[in-house]
């Protein structure tokens, strides 16, 4: 009888130990899980950010076209009955592959996609292709190290917009340490997770600051704010 009782007590103790191990394992695993608040914050603003970037692209294309027409078209004579159609200009085909060049300086951080093409009309062709890339339904998933310059700039501008709408951008348009840490760790009460996020963001921002030679007292140039947001 005593042997049966001892076996029963041993089984109970073993079960309690096993249950305790499972609980500790689940609690430890839960510590490493970022709650879905960050994903919800992105989902809540990504649609507006896509529209914002699209509007920037359309506005830039319009400015390029207006500048090109004003250069190539003679001033209109109100006393003349002759009409010269804009279509008479020698426009290159949109499918022509433009050369790979670097973007020029931007006058403010919220100027998004700007490319220094030798021909303004080729820049318009680039902008048209960029607008197509903003379509979520047709956009594919790609590896971040294989992203072309145009796709990287657009994705970076979307991220920059998301950061800005979540108070993770300073007044000049640069991502901030406290803003990014709050963005990626909101809802987490585990000290280890918070410290790991803080160290990671700090290390990443320092690396990107050195890479782009960031001066936080000045406005970003050459689309640096978008490229930096993408790399971060």
Domain layout of the chain by residue ranges: 39-73+85-231
Positive/negative CA dihedral, 43, 49, 51, 53: negative
Overall average pLDDT of the 165-191 stretch: 88
Least confident of 5-14, 90-99, 214-223: 90-99
Q: How far is CA 228 from CA 119, 189, 223, in A?
A: 27, 28, 9
pLDDT band at 101 (very low <50, low <70, confident <90, very high): very low
Bridge partners of residue 158, in order along the sequence: none
Pick the most confident of 9-13, 47-51, 123-127.
47-51
Express each pLDDT in 5-25 by its tens digit. Answer: 555 566 656 656 555 556 555
Q: Which helix (H) or strand (E) holds 147?
A: none
Q: Which two tokens stand for residue 231?
A: 């790399």
- Is 150's pLDDT higher than 60? yes
CA-based angle 76:78:82, to the nearest 5? Answer: 70
Overall average pLDDT of the 78-102 stretch: 51
Percent of the chain, pLDDT > 70?
50
Using a cut of 0.75, tell me whether the model's pTM lies above it.
Answer: no
Number of Cα atoms under 13 Å in the Cβ half of residue 188: 23
What pLDDT is stored for residue 178 in this prediction? 92
């Amino acid at each position: 009888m005593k042997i049966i009782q001892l076996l029963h007590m041993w089984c109970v103790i073993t079960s309690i130990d096993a249950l305790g191990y499972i609980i500790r394992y689940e609690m430890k695993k839960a510590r490493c899980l970022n709650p879905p608040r960050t994903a919800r914050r992105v989902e809540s603003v990504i649609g507006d950010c896509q529209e914002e970037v699209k509007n920037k692209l359309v506005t830039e294309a319009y400015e390029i076209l207006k500048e090109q027409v004003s250069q190539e078209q003679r001033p209109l004579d109100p006393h003349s009955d002759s009409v010269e159609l804009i279509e008479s200009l020698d426009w290159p085909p949109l499918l022509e592959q433009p050369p790979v060049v670097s973007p020029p300086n931007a006058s403010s951080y919220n100027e998004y996609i700007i490319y220094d093409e030798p021909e303004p009309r080729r820049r318009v062709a680039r902008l048209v292709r960029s607008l197509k890339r903003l379509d979520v339904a047709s956009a594919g998933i790609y590896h971040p190290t294989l992203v072309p310059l145009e796709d990287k700039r657009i994705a970076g501008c979307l991220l920059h917009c998301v950061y800005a709408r979540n108070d993770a951008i300073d007044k000049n348009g640069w991502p901030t340490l406290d803003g990014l840490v709050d963005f990626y760790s909101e809802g987490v009460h585990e000290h280890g997770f918070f410290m790991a996020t803080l160290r990671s963001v700090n290390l990443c921002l320092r690396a990107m600051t050195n890479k782009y030679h960031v001066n936080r007292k000045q406005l970003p140039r050459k689309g640096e704010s978008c490229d930096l947001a993408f790399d971060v």
